[in-house]
Amino acid sequence: MALTPDVAPVLALNSGSSSLKFGVFAQDQGAVQAIYRGSLDGIGTKESHLEIRSTDGRSLAQESHSSETQTHALRAVGAALRKLDLPRVAAVGHRIVHGGPELLEHQRITPEVLKKLEAAATFAPLHVPIELELIRETQSQFPDAPQFACLDTAFHRTLPETAARFALPETLWEGGIRRYGFHGLSCESILHALGKAIPPRTIIAHLGNGASITALADGRSVDTSMGLTPTGGVIMGTRTGDLDPGVLLHVMRSGIARGVELEALVDEKSGLLGISGISSDMRQLHDAENNPRARLAIEMFARAVKKQIGAFVALLGGLDLLVFSGGIGEHDAAVRAEICGELEFLGVALDGTKNAQNVPVISNTAGRVTVRVVRTDEEGQIARHVFRLLT
C-alpha cells in the first residue's frame, strides 16, 4: 500500500513469552490495512530472528539478533522499521493480557492507567510486567505518539455473573477474584473476519501454546474456559489448565513446591510439556508419535478441548458454528479431527479432505454445524481499536 503524507500509521505490538509480533497499519476510507507485519522470535536466546514482511508476504527484512529482553527486541524492531522509511507513527497499540478488576475497556494509556496496570501484574505475572516494560520503551522510542492499551479481557466483560463468579465468599468477588477470560482480541478479530456471518450459537476454539474455548450467544461472550488467569481452562503447551484445588494444597503441604516454584510448576513445566516430557510444541509431539507419552499428551489435549466444547454446546442449547483458530487450530488437521471425532451426535462432521487442506470451511455438508478455520489477527484488531479511539 502506498502511503500518502496525510496517512499516519499505527504500530501494533503483541508480546509473547519469547516473541514480539508487530504490525504497521494505515486507515484507508475507514478500512484498516496492513503496511508491514513482522515478528522477532527467540527472545532470551542467542539465536533470535527478526523478519518484516509486506502485505503480499514478501520478506522485506531478515536479521539475526541476540535479544535478551522484550526491550532489546523492540529496539531492534524500531531500527528495522526506520530503515524502511516508516513515516511518523500516529499511535501505538499494545496487547494487554490482563487489566485487573479496574481496566475492562480498551483505552489510552495515562499515568493513572499505568498505575492500575502495575497493580494488575499480580493477576498475570508472566505477561503484564513484560507489557509494562514494552510500554515504557515505546514511550521512549515514540515520545510524541499516544499509547493505547487493548485488553484481552475486554471482550469478556459481557459474561453473566453466573459465569464470572467462582464459588467463593462475597469478599473475594468484591476483591476482583472472578473469571476474566482471555484471547479476547483474537475473538474480536474472528468476529470481524466473519462479518455478518455470525449465527446465534458459536464456539471459538483458540488453540495454540495458550488455548481457550469461548461460547458466544449472538456474538457476545457468555462463557469461556480461562478464569482468573491465563493458567486455567484446557491443557496448554506448558500450563496445567484446570486443576482440582486440592492438588495445589497437597503439593504445598508436601513441600514439593511453594511460591515461585509452584507458579513455575503450573505455568512453565506442565501441560503438553509436563505430560510428554518432550516438548510443549505440538509439531514435535507429532514427530514423536511412537513415543507413548507424546501420544498421551496429544490425546489428553484433544479430550480436554472436546469436553469444553460439549459443555458449551449444552450451555448454548445447541451449536451453529465452531471456529478453530490459533497456531494449532489453524494448522493441525490431525488435532482438529481428534477433537471433532465422536461429536457427530451434536451435528459436527468434518470433511476429511477439506480438513487436511486447511480450507476455510472444513465441515461436511451433511453436518448441521458449520466448522471453520479462521486466522486470528490480534495485531489488526489492536490497530482497529486504536484508530477508533483516536477519532
Which residues are catalytically annotated?
A: 152
Residue 25 in contact with residue 48, Cβ under 8 Å? Answer: no
Q: Which uninterrupted H or E stretch holds 61?
A: strand 59-65
- Whole-angstrom distance, CA of residue 10 vs CA of residue 387: 8
SS3 of 267, please?
helix
The cell numbers describing 266, all together, are: 503450573
8 A C-beta contact, residue 229 and residue 123? yes
CA quadruple 74, 80, 83, 88: dihedral positive or negative? Answer: negative
DSSP annotation of 228 reads S
Letter for the amino acid at 332? D
Q: Which residues contact 46 (CB under 8 A, 6 or more apart)?
A: 66
Contact 73, 16 (CB under 8 A): no
